[in-house]
Amino acid sequence: MVAARQPEPAAAAGAADAIVPRRFRVLANRQENEDTFTLELEGVDEAGPFEFEPGQFNMLYAFGAGEAPISISGDPAAPGPLVHTVRAVGAATRAICAARPGETLGVRGPYGSSWPVADGDLDALVVAGGLGLAPLRPALYSLLARDAGGGRLTLLYGGRSPEQLLFDAELARWREREEIDLRVTVDAAGPGWTGAVGVVPALVERVEIDPARSVALVCGPEVMIGFSVAALLERGLPPGAIHVSLERNMKCAVGRCGHCQLGPEFVCRDGAVFPYERLRRLFGLREV
Amino acid sequence: MKTIAELLPEIPLFEGLPADQLELLAGCGRNVVAEPGEYLFTEGRTANTFFALRHGSVGIEIPVPAREPIVVQTLHPGDVAGWSWIFPAQPWAFSGRAVERTRAISFDGACLRGKCEEDHELGYELMRRVAIVMAERLRFTRMQLLDVYGRGEAA
């Protein structure tokens, strides 16, 4: 099974460059739903595309307000701007979401491990919940760009309500593509919603899975990850074929401060994407 | 065209039941079709039917006074709807409306109860299977109650 790529030691070693924010200008800020925004950024002091692997994150810095770890949500193969999708939940993220075109943010990164998207022959089952679709979107771009005749691609996406779903225009476009089997479910809806209502693990039970040649990528709230992993294991997927991305209290992003420590792992340095096999012992432990 | 007894093994609830029990159950069933927007069952009415979905999808709704109903779950081919029929004269707790053109097998609840009373082995097996469905629905409902997509940790 293909393992998640491990981070380059340069970022983790604490080289000065790794913790100094660079200036990035806001090119566009689009509201996704009531509290989530997608920002497009370009370097002020640097030219060229921002290179990253699907699943990696940056520390975004709203000057005077604070810093927050935010996954990159754009296409790693596209030469365009750096794209982040941010939910306004605290002082730093509210300030980042309020940034208008022309304003400047600090960016340091990319940090962390990445999703295993290299093996084009495997069936990929992508399971996203809520904002968890954002860190998975770069992986979906890579998987959609695989050569025809490769493995199947399935996206199971759950949200709170139809209004809360991210990237609705893109979901509509993906629905038309043959390369992807897209299934969306919400926790509750009005009668105008023609999609599914229910939880994501219920979708896991309904899709075709070949456990011997599949890899699963799971991201969302940790409770949803736990239930989804349980459903995947029940369908016969080995723990080594399941990869999860965790959201913990990341502060330094280089494995120094210990805020994001999960047992022996530092989520910022060793993750945020982990093979589930590596976390199985820790998953669900209280106070870890 | 397949008979009801031939269609039943395609529904997971009835999978693996012996032919004689399938025949007994099939005697209580008939094919029904619901067009998009049509209600298969309505909250408050006496629950005297039980549905096994073959095609399409059905939204389980809770009516909200002066507002649109809230859909709390959708059922898909292979799913079953309703267990109020197990007890006589129980009202439907929810409404079920076809989201798209839906084909289902509709069972007469009194007939099913009668068969279960006459053949306790069949009755036990059917109740055991319905209990598994109820437990799974309860598990998923608890997950929905968690509201896991609510606001995360402040940052």
Chain segment A103-117, per-residue pLDDT in tens: 999 999 899 999 998
pLDDT tens digits, one per residue of A174-220: 999 989 999 999 999 988 898 999 999 999 989 999 999 999 999 99
Share of chain A above pLDDT 90, in %: 68
pLDDT tens digits, one per residue of A256-274: 888 888 888 888 888 889 9
Instruction: Give the span between the Cα atoms of A219 and A7, in whole angstroms.
Output: 19
Segments in A176-275 forming alpha helices (H): 200-204, 222-234, 267-270
The answer to whether residues A97 and A86 touch, using CB atoms and an 8 Å cutoff, is yes
Q: What is the pLDDT confidence band of residue A12, given thresholds at 50, 70 and 90? A: very low
- Output DSSP code: residue A189: B
Longest pairwise C-alpha distance within chain A? 55
Element (H, E) at A6: none
Q: How many CB atoms lie within 10 A of CB A201?
A: 24
Residue A194 near chain B (CB below 8 Å) = yes
Partner-chain contact B155 A193, CB within 8 Å = no
Token pair listed for A160: 């709170």
Give the type of residue at B113: R
pLDDT tens digits, one per residue of A140-159: 999 999 877 778 999 999 99
Give the type of residue at B25: L
Cα A175 to the center of its chain, rounded Å: 20
Kindly tell me if the per-residue pLDDT of A16 is higher than 60: no
* Touching A: B residues 27-86, CB under 8 Å: 57, 59-61, 68-74, 76
Count how many pairs of residues, chain A against chain B, have C-beta atoms within 8 Å: 90
Model pLDDT, residue B19? 94
| 3-state SS class at A8 | coil
Instruction: Give the span between the Cα atoms of B83 and B90, in whole angstroms.
Output: 10
ipTM score here?
0.84
Q: What is the pLDDT confidence band of residue A10, given thresholds at 50, 70 and 90? A: very low
- Report CA-CA distances (Å) from A58 to A4, A83, A200, A274, A275: 18, 10, 28, 17, 21
- Domains along the sequence of chain B with CATH: 4-143 (2.60.120.10)
For residue B130, give the nearest of B146, B143, B113, B145 by alpha carbon.
B113
Of the CA atoms within 13 Å of residue A24, those in its CB half-sphere come to 29
Q: How far does A25 lie from chain B, in Å, by closest CA?
A: 21
- Domains along the sequence of chain A with CATH: 9-111 (2.40.30.10), 123-279 (3.40.50.80)
For residue A203, give the nearest of A171, A165, A231 by alpha carbon.
A231
Token pair listed for A64: 């005077």
Most A CBs within 10 Å: which of B70, B148, B151, as the mutation test of the A interface?
A: B148
| DSSP secondary structure letters along A123-181 | EEEEEEEGGGHHHHHHHHHHHHTSPTTS--EEEEEEESSGGG-S-HHHHHHHHT-TTEE
The torsion angle over the Cα atoms of residues B28, B34, B37 and B42, rounded to 10 degrees, is: -10
Mean pLDDT, consecutive 10-residue stretches, chain B (155 aa), reads: 91 94 95 96 91 96 89 95 83 93 95 94 94 92 85 63
Instruction: Give the span between the Cα atoms of B132 and B120, in whole angstroms.
Output: 18
Kindly tell me if the per-residue pLDDT of A94 is higher than 60: yes
Residue A198 near chain B (CB below 8 Å) = yes
Kindly tell me if the per-residue pLDDT of A11 is higher than 60: no
Q: How much is the average pLDDT of A47-59?
A: 92
- Report CA-CA distances (Å) from A128 to A71, A157, A268, A276, B94: 14, 5, 20, 15, 29
The answer to whether residues A251 and A259 touch, using CB atoms and an 8 Å cutoff, is yes
Residue A221 near chain B (CB below 8 Å) = yes
